[in-house]
């Protein structure tokens, strides 16, 4: 009987594929993602959009965030408070960026804490059903659960490169599938249940 790969093995394989993508191709993919996202993500003026500061070989969502800001969005970035908790602080042009944990940068303590209406979520791997594998800390799953506990239902869009798609993500009860994943080849929408 063949053993199914673990989440850690799938994560490592997908990240190796992403790391193997040359930097110029990642830049082109990030710009394509910004163009596709700007055309397919509906934003109402004042809506709060959380993005993320790219680390390692991640997609750079800053061009997409800028395009959504042009459509009237308020922007925020995640900040790691401790090993289990992230919050989202407002990103304002000209405000200083500080180390915010997990190798990322973001607004400092003086920035307003916001609850996102739309979350652009980083991921290590995804499958054709909208299941994702993050980096293993569970920050986004817990942040989404906390928002839902307070009655907030943010729209969720994973952002990744096509090479991060895997055959199957082993989903657990606490995993929150994504209704959409944006890659350089388009917006993929999934039927998900809460």
7 is in an annotated binding site: yes
132 is in an annotated binding site: yes
18 is in an annotated binding site: no
**DSSP class per residue in the chain:** -PPPPPHHHHHHHHHHHHHTS-HHHHHHHHHHHHHHHHHH----TT-EEE-----TT----HHHHHHHHHTT-EEEEEEE-SSS-EEEEEE-TTPPEEEEETTEEEE-TTSPB---SEEEEE-SEE-TTS-EE-SSS-HHHHHHHHHHHTT---EEEEE--GGGB-S-----TT----SEEEETTEEEE-----
8 is in an annotated binding site: yes
29 is in an annotated binding site: no
11 is in an annotated binding site: yes
136 is in an annotated binding site: yes
140 is in an annotated binding site: yes
133 is in an annotated binding site: yes
**DSSP class per residue in 12-23:** HHHHHHHHTS-H
134 is in an annotated binding site: yes
58 is in an annotated binding site: yes
Q: Detail the residues annotated as belonging to a binding site for substrate.
A: 58
Q: Detail the residues annotated as belonging to a binding site.
A: 7-11, 58, 132-140
Q: Detail the residues annotated as belonging to a binding site for ATP.
A: 7-11, 132-140
């Amino acid at each position: 009987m063949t053993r199914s790969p673990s989440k850690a093995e799938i994560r490592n394989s997908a990240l190796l594929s992403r790391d193997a993508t040359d930097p110029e191709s990642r830049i082109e993919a990030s710009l394509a993602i910004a163009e596709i996202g700007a055309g397919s993500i509906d934003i109402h003026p004042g809506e709060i959009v959380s993005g993320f500061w790219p680390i390692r070989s991640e997609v750079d969502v800053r061009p997409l965030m800028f395009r959504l800001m042009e459509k009237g969005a308020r922007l925020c970035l995640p900040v790691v408070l401790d090993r289990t908790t992230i919050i989202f602080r407002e990103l304002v042009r000209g405000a200083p960026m500080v180390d915010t944990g997990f190798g990322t940068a973001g607004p400092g303590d003086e920035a307003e804490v916001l609850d996102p209406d739309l979350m652009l979520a980083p991921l290590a791997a995804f499958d054709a059903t909208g299941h994702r594998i993050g980096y293993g800390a569970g920050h986004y799953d817990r942040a989404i659960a906390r928002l839902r506990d307070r009655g907030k239902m943010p729209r969720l869009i994973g952002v990744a490169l096509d090479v991060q798609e895997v055959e199957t993500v082993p989903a657990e009860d606490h995993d929150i599938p994504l209704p959409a994943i944006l890659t350089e080849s388009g917006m993929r929408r999934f039927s998900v249940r809460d």
